[in-house]
């Protein structure tokens, strides 16, 4: 059983609890892409509130997930990056550029709701 | 001879040094109270010292004498050096200058040597040893006091640095969700890290959506400072906030362009006022989104 993906309306929500292994991250990427296509989801939210570290592999995978999801016609937002995590990432030069970010799940949902779906962006 | 580490540690003394100390103490001990009161009179005339060094009552003088006796005869320096360490810390906190404290050492020496000469002038060898003992004793005391004096000064400096650091990066809440960070003075990497940390904590605590980083008061912006600012901006973006930088002077702007830095991500606006207007726009948009989403939820 991989990381659970919840569906709320047209949004898929993934709440990462413990720091996923690299393999789990890869699996999540595949699962999410399939689910977006199956459910015609408009948005994907990945909540990292519980994580106290995001290394370079995690950062890259999150960026890739966002890009893949965008290609499938939805928008992805990473939410809940903790201050210490953001601090460490900036120090290491890791960024989530090109992905949407929000303070928490609530803000993320509002952000995605306000976004036109990727296909409509010219 | 050395006083290892912290002032209260026992000094390592050779047997010859101990003999010298004992020779000197044999003469000094009976005269201790008298020399003490003479010294106190001299000190009272000293402009700086008079505020700090009291004559002390008879009980204190006797206690002090016993502590020295315990050190020299009983080789137990703990109580005496602990007392001297406390004295040094007190002087540092009171702002007494180092030279004034040394002056008391000098005064003590000039009082003691005539005493020794008077007592031992018939035996030059013992006299020489006793004079050496005076030097050893005064050295030990000055080192103990000096160590703790410097330690206390350093502690004061560290405390003040902490205060200044806190002052140097204030994060102000202009309105709910909008933070203002006015930066004044040079930005080094330590300050930049502190700023980023404080700002990120503030974003989490106040749920900030927009930040204006005003650098009007930063005299020079070079590539290092620009990189620091860029890191700060990126870190805030990771938390879903938007950071605008205002107040970049024309000179600094030219410098940055000449350095060929990619500044697109810095999100610069003209003045602080422009920054606040733009940030308010960002905030309004975020609030509108939230309201719209709430309506959609019904």
**What percent of chain B lies above the pLDDT cut of 90?**
24
Written as six digits, the tokens of B297 are 């939820």
Band (pLDDT 50/70/90 cuts) for residue B265 is confident
Q: Tell me which residues of chain A have a C-beta less than 8 Å from any C-beta of chain B.
A: 78-79, 81-87, 89-91, 95-97, 101-103, 106-111, 113-114
CATH class of B15-166: mainly alpha
Written as six digits, the tokens of B180 are 């203002």
CB contact under 8 A, B203 and A111: no
Distance, CA of B259 to chain centre? 38
Taking only the tens place, the pLDDT of each residue in A20-33 is 888 999 999 999 99
Domains and CATH numbers, chain A: 6-103 (3.30.750.24)
Angle at A27 between CA A25 and CA A33, to 5 degrees: 105
Written as six digits, the tokens of B45 are 């005339």
Q: Are B24 and B133 in contact (CB under 8 A)?
A: yes
Tell me: pLDDT of B10 over 70: no
Among candidates B147, B157, B158, B32, which has minimal Cα distance to B101? B147
Give the total residue count for chain B.
298
Radius of gyration of chain A measured on its C-alpha atoms: 13
CA distances from B145 to A93, B86, B87, B149, B240 (A): 49, 8, 7, 6, 55
CB contact under 8 A, A83 and B293: no
Q: What is the mean pLDDT of residues B195-213?
A: 94
Calculate how close chain B gets to A108, using CA atoms only, in Å: 9
CB contact under 8 A, B237 and A95: yes
Band (pLDDT 50/70/90 cuts) for residue A1 is low
**What percent of chain B lies above the pLDDT cut of 70?**
93
Long-range contacts of B12-20 (CB under 8 A, 24+ apart): B13/B136, B17/B132, B17/B136, B18/B72, B18/B75, B19/B129, B20/B129, B20/B130, B20/B132, B20/B133, B20/B136
Q: What is the mean pLDDT of residues B239-267?
A: 86
Taking only the tens place, the pLDDT of each residue in B46-68 is 777 766 665 456 677 788 888 88
Q: Are A102 and A69 in contact (CB under 8 A)?
A: no
The residue of chain A nearest to residue B208, with distances taken between CA atoms, is A103
Which overall architecture, per CATH, does domain B172-297 show? Answer: 2-Layer Sandwich (3.30)
Mapped onto helix, strand or coil, the DSSP state of residue B147 is: helix
Sequence ranges of the domains in chain B: 15-166, 172-297
């Amino acid at each position: 059983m991989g990381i659970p993906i919840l569906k709320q309306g047209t949004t898929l929500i993934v709440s990462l609890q413990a720091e996923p292994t690299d393999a789990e991250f890869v699996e999540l990427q595949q699962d999410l892409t399939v689910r977006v296509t199956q459910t015609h989801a408009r948005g994907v939210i990945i909540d990292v509130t519980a994580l106290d570290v995001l290394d370079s592999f995690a950062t890259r995978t999150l960026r890739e997930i966002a890009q893949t999801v965008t290609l499938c016609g939805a928008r992805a937002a990473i939410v809940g990056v903790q201050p210490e995590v953001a601090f460490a990432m900036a120090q290491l030069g890791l960024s989530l550029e090109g992905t949407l970010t929000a303070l928490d799940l609530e803000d993320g949902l509002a952000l995605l709701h306000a976004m036109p779906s990727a296909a409509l962006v010219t | 001879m050395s006083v290892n580490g912290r002032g209260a540690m026992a000094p390592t003394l050779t047997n010859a040094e101990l003999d010298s100390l004992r020779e000197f103490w044999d003469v000094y001990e009976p005269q201790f109270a008298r020399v003490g009161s003479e010294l106190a009179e001299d000190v009272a005339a000293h402009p700086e010292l008079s505020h700090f060094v009291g004559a002390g009552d008879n009980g204190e003088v006797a206690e002090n004498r016993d502590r020295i006796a315990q050190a020299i005869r009983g080789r137990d320096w703990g109580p005496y050096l602990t007392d001297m360490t406390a004295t040094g810390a007190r002087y540092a906190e009171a702002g007494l200058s180092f030279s004034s404290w040394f002056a008391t050492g000098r005064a003590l020496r000039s009082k003691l040597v005539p005493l020794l000469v008077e007592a031992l002038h018939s035996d030059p060898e013992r006299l020489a040893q006793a004079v050496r003992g005076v030097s050893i004793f005064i050295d030990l005391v000055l080192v103990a006091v000096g160590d703790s004096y410097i330690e206390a000064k350093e502690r004061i400096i560290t405390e003040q640095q902490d205060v200044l650091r806190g002052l140097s990066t204030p994060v102000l809440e202009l309105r709910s969700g909008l933070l203002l960070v006015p930066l004044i003075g040079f930005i080094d990497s330590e300050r930049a890290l502190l700023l980023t940390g404080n700002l990120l904590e503030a974003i989490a605590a106040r749920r900030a959506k927009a930040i204006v980083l005003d650098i009007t008061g930063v005299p020079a912006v070079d590539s290092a400072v620009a990189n620091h600012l860029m890191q700060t901006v990126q870190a805030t973006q990771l938390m879903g906030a938007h950071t605008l930088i205002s107040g970049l002077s024309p000179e600094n702007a030219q410098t940055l362009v000449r350095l060929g830095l990619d500044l697109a991500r810095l999100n610069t606006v003209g003045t602080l006022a422009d920054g606040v207007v733009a940030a308010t726009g960002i905030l309004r948009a975020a609030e509108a989104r939230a309201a719209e989403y709430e309506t959609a939820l019904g």
